[in-house]
Amino acid sequence: MSVRISRRTLLSGGALAALAGMTGCAPEQTGYQPSGEGIVDVVVPYGSGGTDTWARFITPHFAERQPGVDRYQIENVPGGESITGTNAFVRDGVTDGRQTLVASATTYFQSILGQRSVEFDFLEMEPLALNGTGAVLWTSAETGIRSIEDLVDNAEQYRYGGMSASGLDFIPLLALEALGANFRGVFGMEGRGPTRLAVQRGESNLDFQTTSSYLSQVQPMVEAGDAVALFSVGSLVDGEIVRDPNVPDIPTFTEVFEGLPGRSEHHRLAYEAFRSFSVPGFFYQKGLWANAGTEPGVIEGYARMVDELNGDEEFMERAKDALGGYELVAGSEAREAFRDALQMDPEVLAFAKRLLTDKYDVVLD
């Protein structure tokens, strides 16, 4: 898995014209009814929640910087764990920038796991702007867990509380599997707030919080001696996983795993799956997307706007909560790393699917 980063030129006159004209006349699209001149339609395949909040925060900032665009119009199309809305977007096949998609880790995972109802392929689609985040596995001090060593081949069975085994929780599950930890997953919680509270109340032992939530809700408990941070998912830099600059004192899971002796093939496969799922799951967790074949001027235009936003100190200050303390990434810059992660080794993907079906009773179409 690698990232090749090249310098981008500023939007050329021709590309600017293509972007400015994207709200003008265009071939009629099957099923797609444009909202009107000067409007970019945005399909969000979720209801209310983090992805919808992200979409509603970021799109007005693109509209301000986009020639010929007055606003973005959000359309929530939930259903099928984000498959319904994403399928509809791809069927419409809009490639002139007048319609975009906001996708998140759940959407990517449906594609990776090969769900039968999926009609989209992120290997072909074009990322326009991506936003990553980090996460930290932690525990209450009352569990007696003080280090990773306490999780390796532990005699006591610990409980990991989560929302769904096939969603973002799959990443920490893979990490615990790679450690050889004795644990069981308890699912059905409604969000990261409830999973955190479950550890605090002693109903579960392990929890995985995004970095922003960790810093605001968990780190004060760590500083007070009431909680223990075990590892972070890290950040992706030039194809390598490094420490998250927002939690630099917490080792990455890669550091932890590479320091373990006696790793078996089972552990290796779990670790490789962890790495692959972490790229779309955390490093590029949310994003604005376009269909395959989208006009180059549209793609270049978003790269320009991402650069402008990252260099805007006022925007970055206002965006701390929405972006989780991380910069935006131009889709053209991250495209290769994202696609590399989706092209998982067949042996690793088969292992991940078996784990979901055999251990967590997840039904894969």
Start-to-end C-alpha separation, the chain: 28
d(CA 127, CA 331): 4
Instruction: Determine the 3-state secondary structure of 263 from DSSP.
Output: coil
pLDDT in tens, 286-306: 999 999 999 999 999 999 999
Contact assessment for residue 273 and residue 351, using Cβ atoms and an 8 Å cutoff: yes
Name the residue among 208, 213, 193, 212 with its Cα closest to residue 160: 208
pLDDT in tens, 62-104: 999 999 999 999 999 999 889 999 999 999 999 999 999 999 9
Confidence band, pLDDT 50/70/90 cuts, at residue 30: low
pLDDT in tens, 101-136: 999 998 999 889 888 899 999 999 999 999 999 999
pLDDT in tens, 312-332: 999 999 998 899 889 999 999
d(CA 128, CA 291): 10
For 188, left (φ over 0), alpha (ψ -120 to 50), or beta?
Answer: left
Confidence band, pLDDT 50/70/90 cuts, at residue 9: very low
Q: Set out the domains of the chain in order of their start, with CATH numbers.
A: 13-132+284-342 (3.40.190.150), 135-280 (3.40.190.10)
Q: Is the pTM of this model over 0.75?
A: yes
Taking residues 172-183, report their average pLDDT.
96
The DSSP letter of residue 179 is H
Confidence check: pLDDT of 3 > 80 = no
The DSSP letter of residue 115 is -
Q: Which residues pair with 73 in a beta bridge?
A: 41
Residue 95 makes CB contacts below 8 A (sequence gap 6+) with: 290, 291, 292, 293, 294, 295
